[in-house]
A and B are shown apart, each in its own frame.
Chain A
Amino acid sequence: MTHDDLTWPTITSRSVTLDDTGVHILDRRVFPFQIAFVFCSSYEAVAIAIEQMVTQSNGPFYAAGAGMVLAARYAETHLAPDARAAFLRAAAVRLIATRPTNNNVGMAVRNIVDHLDSLEADKSGFADRAEARMRAEWAHRRAALRRVGENAASLIPDGASVLTHCWSEGALVETLGALLIAGKRIRLWCTETRPYLQGARLTSHSAAEMGIPTTVITDGMVADAMRQGKVSIFMTAADRVTMSGHVINKVGTLTGAIAARHFGLPYYATVMLPDPLAKTPEDVEMEQRDGNEVLHCMGHRTASPLVQGWYPAFDITPPDLVSRIITRDGIFAPDALVAAP
């Protein structure tokens, strides 16, 4: 079996589609119960879609990149040549403001806004050049994720039972793909990942689409699944890894990492690359989301009207609870991270 022979999940293959009319973003809020797309014809519409979590995880990387292409198209069509760069910079600021903790939006946006000179924003064909640059970046990203997946799969033995939290997007999908190519049979356990249910909806569905036997548990069952010997490895993606080896990921990762340590199980975190700009967690802005989201599930109120909610989007797992950090460039102990050349 080769990479091309595998069945790849709907959510990665159809996550964000850029065409001549605009951007079609798979609506992850209703997936997999409905396959629906939010259509955006402006970068502002893309920004709102990202804020409203139409897409999340790696989705904003592709969505924000497409948003910058839309901004470039608008600028070339409607603005004087010398006004385009400022417009693109404003679009970049707007898009980066949507989700401050995850680096994905910033990386996608900088891929355009840091190269406005070489893209010749003031000359005809700017939008096409921006789009070509963005599509090349997407291909580059997919190739790098494949290397993350191959590195992660090398740590997972045949017969393993892997517990994951939230939705790791490309890193997990490529890890599962590499395991299938290697002929390793594994089981996947997914936390449902409240309040947004990424695990119950996105991760479990995508793994199952690839033919991996998949079990969903509530977020309260992590330690008991370990105690009962149901899982042998805890593995998550990371929204960011600092150079100090701290893993910043969906809230609940810390709970899993502490429990894994208690039961002597390895915890592996995957990330494209550690963030050279973040030496420690103090360098990372931690997103606090609306507490009301915790009081609802799929649009239905789940909590007493007498209470408030608290919703830190991410938590911080310290390096001493992390067995290995798996990146594009290899497998590292958390205290041995090096900045990519």
Chain B
Amino acid sequence: MADGMNFKMPTMHDKSVLIADRIVRILDRRIFPLQFEYVDCASVEEVAVAIEDMVTQSGGPYYAASAGLVLAAIDAEKQAGAAARMACFDVAAKRLIATRPTNNMIQTAVTRVMERLPGIIYGDDLVKATEALVLDLWAEHRATGVFLGEFAAGLIRDGDTILTHCWGESTIMETVAAALRQGKKFQMICTETRPYLQGSRLTAHSIGEMGVDVTVITDNMGAAAMDAGKVSRLMTAADRITGAGHVINKVGTLQLAIAARHFGIPFTAMVKKPDFSAMTPQDVPMEMRDPEEVLHCMGHRTATTLARGWYPAFDITPPALVTNIATCDGVFTPDQLSPTN
């Protein structure tokens, strides 16, 4: 059981994406924490390809895509006039947003930078100014995660064992941090989350770095762990939550939510803000990824060559299976979500 205030924030809290001298360094989550390496990107295209190749994922693309706009500033700086400069950013923004359609963090990050660019677009050192703007944005972004974490941690009870799926980035890190600050005593179980192993590598490692007792299970063991009385609470982040309370998250969330309902275990989904531009799942493009990824694990072939794979990146958990939703603004039942919360 973890307890007390003596913990440090995980490596992935503030070392996922670094902006160096005209280089964006992206922590390679495909191999972390088994190896600790960065992919260095010198252009917007290299950042976009890195996002597409899942060098970073979850909350990482928020940082990577906004950092990509610092690289766009290198070209823009050579242009005379605001319109020509903004045109460079527009091209970069479109390329970055096109990388992953379902998670709207990339679009949010890029849009926020673009909205603030007019204030600096005329300056001499556009690269430095863009970098400062992006770093400010990151600080604000991390601060909102703290609010979410406090609300979500308020749901945790002493003695809980919390099952989580995939990797919730700042959402899960801030929730665990807040629970530790609140003196809660709890342990965690992470699904490994195939094919990319976000759970066994990123979540389990980051929680372990914070000193919390953490157990990894395979993705098929969720119901068995619940049946064995090992789970008192299911908590996952969400890539999006619709205005109607549908939770769109890494594939596998749905079957855990169904099992949790079967065993009477509460399911809390966590997202900074619900997406009121998407009132139903029909408004969200659902990303299908390359089925070959399902047939491999960490670069090694795991399946016969005689079969094909299938890889929906996300699934949709209907509001009826969601106990509550923690956001930056509080904890709500799925039917209580409102833009004015």
Residues in chain A within 8 A of chain B (CB atoms):
32-33, 165, 189-195, 197, 200-201, 204-205, 207-209, 214-225, 227-228, 230, 250-252, 254-255, 258-259, 262, 291, 294-295, 297-298, 300-312, 315-316
CB contacts under 8 Å to A, within B261-316, are 262, 294-295, 297-298, 300-304, 306-312, 315-316
Give Cα A207–Cα B306 distance, bound, in whole angstroms. Answer: 9
Give Cα A252–Cα B304 distance, bound, in whole angstroms. Answer: 21
Cβ of B222 within 8 Å of any chain A Cβ, yes or no, is yes
Check B228 against A312 for contact (C-beta < 8 Å). yes
Chain A residues with Cβ under 8 A from B42's Cβ? Answer: none
Check A220 against B224 for contact (C-beta < 8 Å). no
Max chain B C-beta neighbours (<10 A), residue from A189, A197, A251: A251
Interface residue stretch chosen among B102-110, B113-121, B189-197: B189-197
Check B308 against A294 for contact (C-beta < 8 Å). no
A/B interface sample: 24 pairs, CB < 8 A: A192-B302, A192-B303, A194-B219, A194-B220, A208-B304, A215-B308, A215-B309, A216-B295, A216-B307, A218-B252, A221-B311, A222-B255, A224-B255, A230-B310, A250-B220, A251-B218, A252-B219, A254-B259, A255-B223, A303-B204, A303-B216, A306-B208, A308-B214, A310-B189
Check A255 against B255 for contact (C-beta < 8 Å). yes
Cβ of B33 within 8 Å of any chain A Cβ, yes or no, is yes
Give Cα A33–Cα B316 distance, bound, in whole angstroms. Answer: 35
Give Cα A195–Cα B217 distance, bound, in whole angstroms. Answer: 9
Residues in chain B within 8 A of chain A (CB atoms):
33-34, 165, 189-195, 197, 200-201, 204-205, 208-209, 214-225, 227-228, 230, 250-252, 254-255, 258-259, 262, 294-295, 297-298, 300-304, 306-312, 315-316
Check A302 against B200 for contact (C-beta < 8 Å). yes
Chain A residues with Cβ under 8 A from B308's Cβ? Answer: 214-216
Q: Contacts A223-B254, A255-B224, A294-B192 given: A200-B204 contact, CB under 8 Å?
A: no
Chain B residues with Cβ under 8 A from A192's Cβ? Answer: 194, 294, 302-303
Q: For the complex, would chain B's binding face be called helix, strand, loop or mixed by DSSP majority?
A: mixed
The 5 A-B pairs of least Cβ separation, nearest first, read: A252-B220, A220-B252, A306-B208, A304-B205, A208-B306
B300 shortest CB reach to chain A, Å: 6
Closest Cβ neighbor of A321 among chain B residues: B262
Q: Contacts A32-B304, A201-B302 given: A254-B223 contact, CB under 8 Å?
A: yes
Known contacts A194-B192, A221-B312; can you find 4 more A-B pairs with CB under 8 A?
Answer: A200-B295, A227-B315, A252-B220, A294-B216
Give Cα A315–Cα B224 distance, bound, in whole angstroms. Answer: 6
Check A204 against B200 for contact (C-beta < 8 Å). no
**A/B pair count, beta carbons within 8 Å:** 213
Q: Contacts A201-B303, A201-B304, A259-B255 given: A302-B224 contact, CB under 8 Å?
A: no
Check A220 against B193 for contact (C-beta < 8 Å). yes
Contact with A307, one of B215, B219, B255, B259 (Cβ below 8 angstroms): B215
Q: Contacts A218-B294, A304-B33 given: A316-B227 contact, CB under 8 Å?
A: yes
A220 shortest CB reach to chain B, Å: 3
Check B255 against A223 for contact (C-beta < 8 Å). yes
Give Cα A10–Cα B330 distance, bound, in whole angstroms. Answer: 57
Q: Contacts A309-B215, A310-B217 given: A224-B254 contact, CB under 8 Å?
A: yes
Q: Contacts A192-B303, A302-B298 given: A315-B201 contact, CB under 8 Å?
A: no
B1 shortest CB reach to chain A, Å: 14
Give Cα A315–Cα B303 distance, bound, in whole angstroms. Answer: 24
Give Cα A67–Cα B80 distance, bound, in whole angstroms. Answer: 83
Closest Cβ neighbor of B34 among chain A residues: A301
Chain B residues with Cβ under 8 A from A252's Cβ? Answer: 218-221, 223-224
Check A302 against B304 for contact (C-beta < 8 Å). no
Check B302 against A190 for contact (C-beta < 8 Å). no
Closest Cβ neighbor of A206 among chain B residues: B304
Check B222 against A223 for contact (C-beta < 8 Å). no
Q: Contacts A192-B194, A221-B312 given: A215-B307 contact, CB under 8 Å?
A: yes
Check B227 against A304 for contact (C-beta < 8 Å). no
Check A205 against B306 for contact (C-beta < 8 Å). yes
Give Cα A258–Cα B306 distance, bound, in whole angstroms. Answer: 29
Check A302 against B197 for contact (C-beta < 8 Å). yes
B193 shortest CB reach to chain A, Å: 7
Chain B residues with Cβ under 8 A from A227's Cβ? Answer: 254, 315-316
Check A262 against B258 for contact (C-beta < 8 Å). yes
Max chain B C-beta neighbours (<10 A), residue from A192, A291, A305: A192
Check B224 against A297 for contact (C-beta < 8 Å). no
Chain A residues with Cβ under 8 A from B251's Cβ? Answer: 218, 220-221, 224
B102 shortest CB reach to chain A, Å: 13
Give Cα A219–Cα B220 distance, bound, in whole angstroms. Answer: 5
Check A191 against B220 for contact (C-beta < 8 Å). yes
Chain B residues with Cβ under 8 A from A294's Cβ? Answer: 192, 200, 216-218
Check B254 against A165 for contact (C-beta < 8 Å). no
Max chain A C-beta neighbours (<10 A), residue from B200, B220, B250, B308: B220
Chain A residues with Cβ under 8 A from B223's Cβ? Answer: 252, 254-255, 258, 315
